[in-house]
Amino acid sequence: MKTILVTGATDGIGFATATLLAEQGHALVLHGRTEEKVAQAIKAIHIAAPNAVLQTVYADLGDLAAVASMAQELAERLPQLDVLVNNAGVYMTKRELSHDGFEMTLAVNHLSHFLLTGLLLPLLKKSAAPRVVSVSSMVHTSGHIVFDDMNMDHNFDGYRAYANSKLANLLFANELARREPWLTSNSLHPGVIGTKLLHAAFSMQGETVETGAQTSVYLATSPDVAKTTGKYFDNCTAVNAAAQAMDQHLAQRLWAWSEQAVKPYLPESN
């Protein structure tokens, strides 16, 4: 049995991922924005897996202080963390800024998970075989990291912001694999899945959320990928990512930018 944290576990792919993992007998930590949403998720998961071992944490991922507080709470509550599934994501049709002044898509989809992962490394180190799974998307192929305009102050476009954040997810996962060889870090495209995000962004139907959860569950638990790191998966198979996602210099530069962005909440800043 693994102890697994899933961000954005109250609906969509995150909820389906948590449910499937609970059915496999793993101990789950469910993240959500509000206590009410998490309570609903717990009730539904217990119907599917009556004996599920579930814990909860709450944080608005658009607020880096809340992310840091959640990480501290987890450090105090958990003896170890075996798997972190960075799943939560948003698609913004209008430009909004996060609590910390960052474009909201970038803040929630990338910066929150960059910070959370960094703060949870000590817990992951206590696991015999730690894994970090980052949910990206095939739309990373359309992404471009423009360091002079990370907040998209000019000509905001929801799709472009989302694609950029998904490219950032992949770059982060790859760089994490290089920097922390004691864990495995892989990213994935879940498929074109009928979530609220898909409907808001593309007005499409898509496949079921259970289908969308399959690769996350595979990367979190399968012995087949116990030693696999720095790879990008689609349909439980390692595939080639776009050239910009494999750019090591770009990944290092994004890492440095992200460290500066979350610096007030890193331990050495205290």
- Residue 194's pLDDT is what? 46
Structural domain that includes position 154: 3-269
What is the band of 201 on the pLDDT scale with cuts at 50, 70, 90? low
Give the integer Cα–Cα distance in Å for 75 and 145.
Answer: 32
Q: Above 60 in pLDDT, residue 198?
A: no
Give the integer Cα–Cα distance in Å for 44 and 261.
Answer: 37
Q: Above 90 in pLDDT, residue 267?
A: no
| Domain total of the chain | 1
Per-residue pLDDT tens for 129-154?
999 999 999 999 999 999 999 999 98
- Residue 154's pLDDT is what? 87
In this structure, are residues 137 and 190 in contact, taking their beta carbons and an 8 Å threshold? yes
Q: Above 60 in pLDDT, residue 270?
A: no
For 238, phi and psi rounded to 5 degrees? -70, 130
Q: Annotated catalytic sites, by residue?
A: 162
Number of CB atoms found within 10 A of residue 119's CB: 21
CA distances from 261 to 69, 116, 225 (A): 17, 13, 32
What element of type H or E holds 255? helix 248-261
Which DSSP string do the residues of 40-95 spell out, in sequence order? HHHHHHHHH-TT-EEEEEE--TT-HHHHHHHHHHHHHH-S---EEEE------SS-
Structure tokens, 164: 């950029």
**C-alpha closest to that of 2 among 82, 70, 66, 67:** 82
Per-residue pLDDT tens for 8-34?
999 889 999 999 999 999 999 999 999
Per-residue pLDDT tens for 75-124?
999 999 999 999 999 999 999 999 999 999 999 999 999 999 999 999 99
In this structure, are residues 117 and 67 in contact, taking their beta carbons and an 8 Å threshold? no
Task: Provide the CATH number for the domain around residue 253.
Answer: 3.40.50.720
